[in-house]
Amino acid sequence: MPVAVGLAGFRKERRESRAGSTAEEGIGHAERVSQAGLVGTAAAVSAMLAVGVTGNDLPALITELPGPASRAWVDRLAARECPAITSRRARRAAALGASDTDPVVWSESLGCNVKDVDGNILVDLCAGFGVMALGHRHPAVMAAGQAQLGLLPHAMGDAFPDVRRVELMERLCARTGLDRVIFGCSGSDAVEAAIKTARLATGRHRILSFEGGYHGLASAPLAVIGYHVDAFQEPFRPLLGAHGDRAPWGGPIPDLSGHAAVLVEPLQGRGGMRAPADGWLEELHAKARAAGALVIHDEIYCGLGRAGAWLAAGALKPDLLCLGKALACGYPISACLGTAAVMDAWGASTGEAIHTQTFLGNPVGCAMALAALDEMERIDLPGQSLATGDWLRARLLEVPGVRGVTGRGLMLGAVVDHSLRAMRGMQSRGYLVLPAGERGEVLGITPPLVVSQHVLEGALDALTQVLA
């Protein structure tokens, strides 16, 4: 059974590559990556290697979780951060009815492992909200970012672009078959750009989304969210537009006459790692086309190999596509891609862009994204995700207390009773997971796509203990 390669193997390949005649095998655009950048990355990686961490290790706990240092840092966090942001224990948040458990506070990461401020080595089965598809602090991605920082850390959005931005646009269009790109800093940015584009291209404003769909919490995406709608929308309803309609996920598709677009995750993430029935997405596309509505695929979470393919929707091509999270494997960058016919509805800039950002297409993020795409292609990351995910699904179904498994690739949900209790039990054993679903009905398992079978076997053993 083929299992995804880990960082240890990658480091060996990089050493052999540097010793040979070319350094391009590990970093496709290595002509831009300075030797100083590679040396700096090696020094950073060695900090965790010094204590024997390879990036694909089982947990090594020296304190209870959270440990005393984490608790002390959370005390400082609680004094300054808005209380709505980070869950923390009852003595800081009892009046708000918040969680009674502190988070662990991270200090370093490598591959699938995270070290907290107490020195505990943990396994990140969330991949940092799906961002670290290649593992934390991947050498090629870090080297590209460091090299770009030494050349040009910032350009000027819509006023003065740089070459990395152009190269990444070309690369993404070639990969997706779409024609135009709007960059952003977050998934919400990409969805907002898609909603604005749909308005301009159709002259309409209504957006259909689906129950359980999560598209970010900026104003435009928040108005069409389908996940925990009341909790997220109620405090801000007077500020939100009335352009959102919702339909049941995977259910009958309503009349789309008068809609600008339908917004859909081909595989839902926070909604429960849910895939629709075969043929449903195709039917959605057909009905949208017939009604003159655009189709927006939100693949911010499920794209770029996470669901076992480059795009979770496969060959089904949308009018607009949103990417983010794993795009740069650690740098905040997102992209809204679209067909020329749709994107050109924006018209040419007349000197002052009507949609832009200070950090639009930041050179460091673009350089890291190019390096990440190089590596994803080099090791066939989607294929690894599919193979490892099929193996993990079968093994999860053998665990007593797991009543089913949702999702595809390494975007899986284990259907369990009391997922919050299971999450805490896993954390106490050094494995970081999060619940998913409207009622927290699944335990989300979304590790780095380069996770080893050794690490997953350890997680399965821990889950067996937790559910016993």
pLDDT at 50: 66
- Amino acid in the structure at residue 223: A
For 45-96, write each residue's pLDDT tens digit: 556 766 678 999 999 999 999 999 999 999 999 888 888 887 665 544 444 4
Cβ 253 vs Cβ 283: under 8 Å: yes
Ranges of each domain in the chain: 156-362
pLDDT at 43: 53
- Amino acid in the structure at residue 387: A
Which residue from 36, 231, 61, 264 is spatially nearest to 146, judged by alpha carbons?
36
Q: How far are the Cα atoms of 73, 192, 243 from residue 355, in angstroms, in the given order?
A: 39, 10, 20
pLDDT at 29: 39
The two three-digit tokens of residue 114, written as one number: 């995270």
pLDDT at 132: 98
- Residues in the chain, pLDDT under 70: 1-47, 49-51, 87-100
pLDDT at 89: 55
Which residue from 345, 344, 331, 346 is spatially nearest to 145, judged by alpha carbons?
331
Helices within 50-162 (DSSP H only): 68-80, 90-93, 127-130, 139-149
pTM for the predicted model, two decimal places: 0.88
pLDDT at 391: 98
pLDDT at 86: 73
- Amino acid in the structure at residue 408: R
Residues 6+ apart with CB under 8 A from 14: 26, 139, 140
- Amino acid in the structure at residue 288: A
β strands within 331-458, DSSP E: 334-338, 404-408, 411-415, 431-432, 434-436, 442-445
- CATH code for the domain defined by 156-362: 3.40.640.10
pLDDT at 45: 52
